[in-house]
Chain A
Amino acid sequence: MSEAKSPDTLVTQPDRGHSPDTQTGDSGPIYDTIIIGAGMSGIAAGIRLAYYDQRVCILEKHYTIGGLNSFYRLNKRDYDVGLHAVTNFTEKGAKKGPFSRILRQLRFKWEDFALAPQRRSRIAFPEIELHFTNDIEQLTAEIGQKFPHCVDRWQRLVGSITDYDDLDQAAFEISARQRLEEALGDPLLINMLLCPLMWYGNPREHDMAWGQFCIMFRSIFLEGFARPYRGVRLILKNLIKKFRALGGELKLRHGVAKILTENGWAIGVELENGNRIYGKRILSSAGLVETLRMCDQTSEPDPRMAGQMSFIESISVLDRQPEELGFADTIVFFNDSPDFHWTPPADELCDVRTGVICSPNNYDYDLQEGQLPEGIIRLTTIASFDRWNKLDEATYRREKFRWYDRSVASCVRFIPDFRPHVIDIDMFTPTTIRRFTWHENGAVYGAPDKKLDGTTHIPNLFLCGTDQGFVGIIGAMMSGISMANQHCLKD
């Protein structure tokens, strides 16, 4: 790469020789940063860069924003795509933790996200349950009661995770199962702890990276769950409003076909419609494999690198509040045997032995906002992208209803049977996720191997989002912010 020149000298003289700011036609202005994808990470990065006076353009393939955390409207009802809970909740005034960091970095007030805390959640295994709230002492008390022989070890574990600061890649990669075996020793307790943490953010099969475990542990057990009354819309609306107010440009229905390079440097992108947009650097939230595919790679990247963990989501609208049916928990993580299997289903479309049940009604909303108008129960279970992807249209429709029934039948073993009260349903599958996010395999938590430093083989092309760093709404925003800070601001 010794002959590679800085991109600035290349892009100031694009093909037709116009000066950068007066270009017209398909090339337009030269952006300081082009961001691929208007999800949480891309918009958060965009805010950082636009705030510091960069010329930024976010290119989004879909007709709306949000990526893996989007929203939609169906039968006159508003739905969230991914959101069960925002993790990392801390009360107003907290100075530590990712949530307050995001507020500071993006210059938001705590009130802007209007987060209402969870009531209580539950990890449900056969004949044993652990309840937890946003106060870790509740979980410690439960463990003291149900696993008295482990409680001292548990407290030491909590202490070590509280102290843990950002791990280097080597410590990050240690097996969580092995670390927990040493730290706790009780296989049932280990599985009960892994269940919610894997459910809310483990891209790997079977095991979890220790670093990912610690991040998830803090975000869920030490910080906590919350949700804005208006769901993910509110967060996205506030993010994009800020981005635009700072002069950022958002182009929807602008899918990137190709990343253009010259002498080994990225100089811009070619859109699916053939137009070109030029920039000094590119920050892509499209995913690692997906981004590499946009470059002129000689070999096709292996799609398995993109991760295999995908899900179906079965959403039920009820004729009453879940609480009236005796269901007052915010989130229930269930698993129907002492073993916890975290792999794509081996020979069926879905695996409904384990799942997550969430009722957006069961948050402590502000009295002024009141309660959501309708009862909603969301249920996530494991699914195989490959199997869903092979179905023809008619079979696909039939299987969707079949697996709605089977997943709900599995979950009502752990919560009151709400089925007589269902007035509407919706459902999405791994192929739905891919259709709207273009993430390979519909892999919700991205690649098993994260590219934590965000770099690629091209020196001015960087990654952010689910394949770079952390998952969930807070993780995604942190990813966008930290990659913008590290790679796009300091020049």
Chain B
Amino acid sequence: MAPEEIRQAIIEILEDIAPDEDLSNLDDSVSFREQMELDSMDFLDIVMELRKRYRVQVPEEDYPQLASMDSTVKYLEPKMVNVAV
């Protein structure tokens, strides 16, 4: 997956986790927490959905890497380089 595809994959996950959020104005450089009502349970779901959908493992100590869209894509890039779209 290319970075833009990873971004789209994350958007799809967020849409499922938080169906009431408007994601069209998401600022990729600002943390999810500042822009959306996401709690620790929702963050666990991002991790779990990545595992379920793309077989990507995110160890607990790496959760802080998923703070914003930019940091998430950057973190996932090497892990998802071989994942088919």
Contact = CB atoms under 8 A, between A and B. Distances in A.
A104 B21 CA distance: 12
Interface string A231-271: 00000000000000000000000000000000000000000
A218 B64 CA distance: 30
B48 A489 contact: yes
A365 to B, nearest CB: 24
Interface string A308-341: 0000000000000000000000000000000000
Nearest to A95: B37
Contact of A490 (B37, B39, B60): B60
Interface stretch (B1-9, B12-20, B70-78): B12-20
A107 B44 contact: no
A80 interface: no
A52 B20 contact: no
Size category of the B interface is 10 to 19
Interface in B20-53: 20-21, 37, 39, 41-42, 44-45, 48, 51-52
20 contacts: A52-B48, A52-B52, A53-B52, A93-B20, A95-B20, A95-B37, A96-B37, A101-B39, A104-B17, A104-B18, A104-B45, A105-B41, A107-B16, A109-B19, A481-B41, A482-B41, A485-B41, A485-B44, A489-B48, A490-B60
Contacts of B52: 52-53
A203 to B, nearest CB: 25
Contacts of A93: 20
Contacts, number: 30
B83 to A, nearest CB: 17
Given A93-B20, A107-B16, A489-B48, 10 more contacts: A52-B52, A53-B52, A95-B37, A96-B37, A104-B19, A104-B42, A105-B41, A105-B45, A109-B19, A485-B44
A68 to B, nearest CB: 24
A481 B41 CA distance: 9
Closest 6 CB pairs of A and B: A95-B37, A52-B48, A485-B44, A52-B52, A105-B41, A93-B20
A101 B60 CA distance: 21
Contacts of A53: 52
Contacts of B18: 95, 104
Contacts of B19: 104, 109
Nearest to A92: B20
Nearest to A102: B41
B47 to A, nearest CB: 9
A109 B48 CA distance: 20
Contacts of A101: 39, 41
Contacts of A109: 19
Contacts of A107: 16
A354 B51 CA distance: 52
Which has the most chain B C-beta neighbours within 10 Å: A104, A105, A107, A482? Answer: A104
Nearest to A94: B20
Contacts of B41: 101, 104-105, 481-482, 485
A93 B21 CA distance: 9
A315 to B, nearest CB: 37
A95 B42 CA distance: 12
A489 B44 contact: yes
Interface in A437-491: 481-482, 485, 489-490
A370 to B, nearest CB: 29
Interface in A91-135: 93, 95-96, 101, 104-105, 107, 109
A482 B44 CA distance: 11
A104 B18 CA distance: 7
A52 B51 contact: yes
Nearest to B42: A104
Nearest to B18: A104
Contacts of A96: 37
A101 B52 CA distance: 21
Interface string B48-73: 10011000000010000000000000
Nearest to A109: B19
A7 to B, nearest CB: 20
Nearest to B51: A52
Contacts of B21: 95
A101 B37 CA distance: 10
